[in-house]
């Protein structure tokens, strides 16, 4: 399995909501390895990969933030033109739909890490394995 645990945070569209969340986890010494923000006119969802997801979720809950821990795919891709496209083709070829994706701030063994959310994580993991992509140890990502 290529899965890694991600925090999804509900944010009202109001000034200060986002930094309240990032401040709280920074204060506890938790580092953010990847981050993306999806927004609508009314609200946003902040998605985070951090080195201590359960602790971070607890901290966020304590400051009154709605948070959910979800599983996503973490894939080490080739750092070359077409590296992302290769992965997308494999997933598309298997009829898998991508809900969202983003990239981690660093790399593991020289390979950038792409975070992908698909409708069926297990099948996605299988097809990627068959195509020669190797599992990423979540611990490596948290060390980024």
- Judged by CB under 8 A, the chain residues 57 through 86 that form the site for another protein are 64-68, 70
- Judged by CB under 8 A, the chain residues 82 through 111 that form the site for another protein are 99-100
User: Which residues, 6 or more positions from 116, have their beta carbon under 8 angstroms from its beta carbon?
Assistant: 72, 73, 75, 87, 91, 98, 100, 101, 124
Q: What is the rounded distance in angstroms from the CA atom of residue 76 to the CA atom of residue 103?
A: 10
Shortest Cβ distance from residue 43 to another protein (Å)? 6
Q: Are 118 and 98 in contact (CB under 8 A)?
A: yes
Nearer CB in complex with another protein: 68/143? 68
- Specify the stretch interacting with another protein by CB under 8 A; choose among 25-33, 36-44, 73-81, 122-130: 36-44
Told to check if 34 binds another protein by CB under 8 A, we report: no
User: Which residues, 6 or more positions from 60, have their beta carbon under 8 angstroms from its beta carbon?
Assistant: 7, 9, 21, 24, 25, 67
Nearer CB in complex with another protein: 33/118? 118
Q: What is the rounded distance in angstroms from the CA atom of residue 78 to the CA atom of residue 62?
A: 39
Nearer CB in complex with another protein: 65/104? 65
Chain residues in the site for another protein (CB under 8 A): 6, 8, 10-12, 17, 38, 40, 42-43, 45, 47, 64-68, 70, 99-100, 117
């Amino acid at each position: 399995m290529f899965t890694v645990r991600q925090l999804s945070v509900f944010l009202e569209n109001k000034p200060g909501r986002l930094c309240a969340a990032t401040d709280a986890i920074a204060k506890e010494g938790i580092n953010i390895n990847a981050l993306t923000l999806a927004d609508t006119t009314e609200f946003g969802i902040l998605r985070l990969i951090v080195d201590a997801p359960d602790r971070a979720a607890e901290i966020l809950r304590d400051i009154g933030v709605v948070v959910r821990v979800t599983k996503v795919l973490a894939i080490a891709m080739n750092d070359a033109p077409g590296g992302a496209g290769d992965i997308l083709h494999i997933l598309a070829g298997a009829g898998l739909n991508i809900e969202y994706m983003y990239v981690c701030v660093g790399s593991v063994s020289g390979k950038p890490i792409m975070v992908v959310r698909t409708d069926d994580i297990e099948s996605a993991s299988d097809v990627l394995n068959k195509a020669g992509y190797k599992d990423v140890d979540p611990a490596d990502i948290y060390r980024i």
